Amino acid sequence: MQNALADFIERIPKSDLHVHLDGSLRIPTLIELARKAKVKLPSCTDEGLRKLVFKKAYRDLPEYLHGFAYTCAVLRSAENLERVAFEFSQDNIAENVRYVEVRFAPQLHAWEGLSAAEAVRAVDRGMAAAAKKHNASAAVRSGKDLPFHYGLILCAMRRFKKGMSPYYADLLAVMDYAPHHEVYAAASLQLARAAVELKRKEDLPIVGFDLAGEESGYPAVRHKEAYQYAHDHFIKKTVHAGEAYGPESIFQAITQCHANRIGHGTFLFEESMIQEPKIEDRRRFVDDLAEYIASQRIGIEVCPTSNLQTIPSIKAIAAHPVRQMIQRGLSVSICTDNRLVSTTTVTRELQLVAGHLNLSPRALRNLVVAGFKGSFFPGSYAQKHSFVSKVIERYGALERQFFGNTEASR
């Protein structure tokens, strides 16, 4: 039965709503691009890089983040970004991911001769080419397979340094009179404005605005103006929150930044992490927050393997708060975070959760469908509804093929 479940999860249509482009390269591509760009790697073999950099287990978050120094170093040209985006899409299509929202920081990739706007265009070209190829296939045209859709989520950074990109260096130099948190906020607002401009004037599939980077000590509320601008122009919002900080971070993302979804949300239930002394009944605060998130269908983008690799207190999938999230009726989608850095796929993440949590057929179906329903789909609501209906139909057909009539299909 377990083998059948694993095979079933491989075949079903899947989504990934939280995945970073710069954490999801193919290792052979990284090696090739590094050689051309004269970026020195710790090893020039797949085996060596997996042993030294991209591991299955990490000591801590800094070790986990170390690999991004190499991936970001090769993503400083439109050509490289386009290629990596194309291959990223191919890899998702190959494992039956039929909707993906890729997130990246255009300002991080802006280098000499490459603007942040061109970085966005390059990623879109790569993904569009992969989508066009798949969607023109005989299987899709005949209705035997689903088309591949995608959206772009532009990431602002909670903090940055001069050496991360010329864009950040220039901004820090121009605003050298201002406190650093004001410079970070200015960069976020510029990105929000660029997102609206590119979406409206060039019709790029920019579906969301995000805030990533070091959470503790760098609250999302400092980027409130950027989020308000995105909100005022109908760009959907997600925030990395509750990954390294407590429930208050999630509360702030929802109330101050209009978050439609929460990235990670791992410490949603950790009342011991609440620091505001005015919150006297911490358990009540957590319960009310979880109930609000559930009732408002604010999605939680859960990345199980990534959390196990970066949060020492979580020892196993069975101990991950995703169990409690599902039990409380939250809208949970299972995501990869970083396909390369976490050595994972959407298929593997779903297999881990379904296997270790012993999900019922109905619970598994709801989990998979929630990823599509909670997406920031780039088309109209009617188009999204039609696509989700086809996903559910395809899921049901495969379920009957593998298991016959089940609880979920009734």
| Helix or strand run (H / E) with residue 160 | none
Alpha-carbon distance 260 to 301, whole Å? 11
At 116, list the tokens: 């942040």
Please, how many CA atoms are within 13 Å of residue 200, restricted to the half-sphere of its CB?
10
Alpha helix segments (H runs only) across 74-179:
78-94, 106-109, 116-135, 138-141, 166-174
Pairing of strands 14-20, 206-212: unpaired
At 54, list the tokens: 């991209």
At 277, list the tokens: 């002394």
The one catalytic residue among 243, 248, 271, 301: 243
Pairing of strands 97-104, 332-334: unpaired
Residue 216 CB coordination number (10 Å): 12
Q: What is the largest CA-CA distance in the chain?
A: 67
Beta bridge mates, 14: 97
Is 79 part of the annotated catalytic residue set?
Answer: no
Alpha helix segments (H runs only) across 16-115:
27-37, 46-52, 61-66, 68-73, 78-94, 106-109
State which amino acid sits at residue 61.
L
Alpha-carbon distance 93 to 13, whole Å? 10
Alpha-carbon distance 366 to 331, whole Å? 9
Return the active site residues. Answer: 243
